[in-house]
Amino acid sequence: MSTRDAHLAQRFEATRTTAYRSSVKTRGTIYLSRGRDVRGHRAMSKTLPFYFITAFSNDAFAGNPTAVVFVDDDLAENTETLMKLGANLSQPISLMVYSPREPSTDPKIAKRRVRFMTNSLSEVALCGHGALTVAGTMFAKKLVPEEVEVLELETKSAGVLKAYRKEDGWFDIELPSATLHEVSSDEARALKKALNNAFGRVLEINYIGRGRDNFAPYLVVELDAKEDLKASAVDANALKTTGYNIHVITTDSITGEEAFISRAFAPTVVQAGEDHVSGSTHSLLIPYWFSKKQIPRGDLVSVKQVSQRGGHLKVIWEKDSDIVHLQGQTALFAEGTITLQ
């Protein structure tokens, strides 16, 4: 075993041990592995399998980490418990996966329902990187038959997300495309003040736009590429008063290796303030940059999110539909069970 592999094995074992220790203690009662408490009485509990997995990277310590938890239908409707579960798992997003309303009649398609819980006791309607990690988990752990090629993930309010298995460990997810609407001059002045405070300098801003409908909480800001987005230190807390939950900061590529780069800040949604590699933001970014740079719809291009962890995506804006495709890799790095009384 190489030094790197030994290090990863140690990290995996430490994570698994911590997860186990935290899972077997609930409401002051410690459960034994056979479902009995310390007095030998049978414990009335349920166990939930979970996986820690990163999106948009094949490196467990890069990309966007998530928890994927498989819950039963009764628990899936208990929003309060799911929120607490998401907070305990301490990942930016925890995916709660449960059975479909109706099973698929096509052997190449598997259906599931999903809910997206943050680590700050809230729920979001859509999470692109979360959909990718569900696909990565279910295919890697063989939780669907071998002939399945597509997962259909029904959300609470954002429709059905589709995830496809590709070659070489890549997965493709479909998201709705969305149009940006430029903010008013009065709103732009207030937003520029908040953005300048967050970056600690006066920024050269090319455009500020907002989403609508399911993307109403999203704000997209294009900076001049000279601002060096990757190297910028950003105080996400300075963005809490903008009236938006997700702040997408983007620039053109300096190197030409990718079509554009971006970072996403959500201080009212995720505890860390920055969403390491956001999938849903690309529903807005892809149409914006494809239109601005006149990239032909249907072309596959590379883009990067340049947070500290970083992520690499390949993206497409479909020719004849309002669909964008995000392609990425995943890395499974821990698994275990959660015990609930």
Q: What percent of the chain has pLDDT over 70?
A: 87
DSSP-derived secondary structure letter, 185: H
Amino acid in position 16? R
Amino acid in position 185? S
Task: State mean pLDDT over 131-154.
Answer: 95
pLDDT of residue 317 exceeding 80, the answer is yes
Number of Cβ within a 10 Å radius of residue 33? 9
Q: Residue 120 — very low, low, confident or very high, per pLDDT cuts 50/70/90?
A: confident
DSSP-derived secondary structure letter, 183: P
Q: Residue 44 — very low, low, confident or very high, per pLDDT cuts 50/70/90?
A: low
pLDDT at residue 40, rounded to an integer: 45
Query: What pTM does this model have?
Result: 0.82
Phi-psi domain of 83 (left: phi exceeds 0; alpha: psi -120 through 50; beta: other): alpha
pLDDT of residue 33 exceeding 70, the answer is no
Contact 327, 130 (CB under 8 A): no
